[in-house]
Amino acid sequence: MDTRDEQRFTELYRQHYAAVDAYVRRRIHAAQVTDVVADVFLVAWRRFGELPEKAPLPWLYGVARRTLANTYRSENQRLRLSETLVSQPRRQVDDHADTVIQKVGLAAAFDNLGDADQEVLRLSLWEELPPPDAAHALGCSVPTYQVRLHRARKRLKTGLSVALANDEVLQGNGATQVVSRTWGGADA
């Protein structure tokens, strides 16, 4: 754009700004008027060569109409997105503190068991050996293995109960239920 075109654009802006502003103001919220009018004249600047010299105002109104349509579409999309977000249920974030405390208590109780009890529990739970294989690994009969496993579970549960009773942080969090489920039932 040369100096002559810049002067013509400045004159166009001075002559038609108020009319375009009034046109837009009648159709949109006052807070958005300045942006829409600025967009109209930005299009006029970019497409100055297409602007009719004799009657530019109707052309500017056409640009304003299309700019308003884009603004309406954007606003409607924003409102729909906002409604969608508001209507979706909020996801509950789980509090893992109790689980962590339970695991810490369980680990402490396990560490306080004797080596024989720890080994029988490891073979049963971590290694997931069936009773005949676990008994063979321990060098005992299947019934002896089952008795050792039962006693180890019982000692673990008792140790966890003691830990819960002695530690206020762990107390009342249901960790004994975790031990019962994890280590073989309510009577374990």
Interatomic CA distance for residues 181 and 39, integer angstroms: 67
Last residue of a domain, one of 49, 68, 87: 87
Q: What is the pLDDT of residues 37-66, one digit of tens each?
A: 999 999 999 998 888 888 899 999 999 999
State the DSSP H helix or E strand holding residue 67, giving kind and residue range, or none if neither: helix 56-87
Last residue of a domain, one of 87, 122, 143: 87
**122 & 77 share domain:** no
Q: Residue ranges of the chain with pLDDT lower than 50?
A: 168-182, 185-188
CATH of residue 59's domain is: 1.10.1740.10
Is the residue at 92 inside a domain?
Answer: no
Q: Tokens standing for 89?
A: 């249920």
Last residue of a domain, one of 42, 65, 87: 87
**Residue recorded with tokens 């004799």:** 54
Q: Cβ(58)–Cβ(18) under 8 Å?
A: no
Q: What is the pLDDT of residues 91-115, one digit of tens each?
A: 777 777 777 777 777 888 888 899 9
**74 & 105 share domain:** no
For residues 81, 84, 87 and 93, what is the CA-based torsion angle, rounded to 10 degrees? Answer: -90
Number of domains in the chain: 2
**54 & 102 share domain:** no
**Residue recorded with tokens 């180890």:** 152
**177 & 105 share domain:** yes
The domain containing residue 125 runs over which residues? 97-182
CATH of residue 151's domain is: 1.10.10.10
